[in-house]
Amino acid sequence: MTITNIVCTGVSGTKYMHYPTMPGSTWLDKPGNYLFCKWNGQSWIIQYAGECQSFSARLPGHDRWEEAVRDYGVTVAFSHITQGGVDARQREERDLIQAYNPPMNTHHRTNALADVSGALGRIGGLSPLARSLLNGKR
């Protein structure tokens, strides 16, 4: 499969172009935003969104990468250079987390139900009991 660039739209409506970087590739010493994604057979699903001052300092040996691969099916990191300093990077990170509710992000999410469904989704979906509890039935 050929991996191409992805465009993600934040909750603000802003579109962000991200470029794939395969594990083991060399990262640039540039500031930017990144996404850990898994392929669901039709599209890339964001599992984690982050920002950093330097890709080369942050991403090799990222503290969440092994968890992302093992528990969330992540195979690719997408990234792009972000100008404008830490405020611009954090604004984009928040914008994308609020739009996609990546299950690995615990901050900036849009609601508590997304936290529950994200956690359950990574272990194979909701059981009938969990689904009924979330719907307020017993």
As a whole number, mean pLDDT of residues 103-131 equals 56
Distances (CA, A) of 115 to 15, 17, 102, 121, 132: 24, 26, 9, 10, 17
pLDDT in tens, 31-69: 999 999 999 999 999 999 999 999 998 988 888 999 999
Domain ranges of the chain: 6-110
d(CA 51, CA 3): 22
pTM for this one?
A: 0.77
Instruction: Find out if CATH 3.40.50.1820 is the number for domain 6-110.
Output: no
Q: Which residue has the tokens 């950093």?
A: 52
Most confident of 35-49, 102-116, 122-136: 35-49
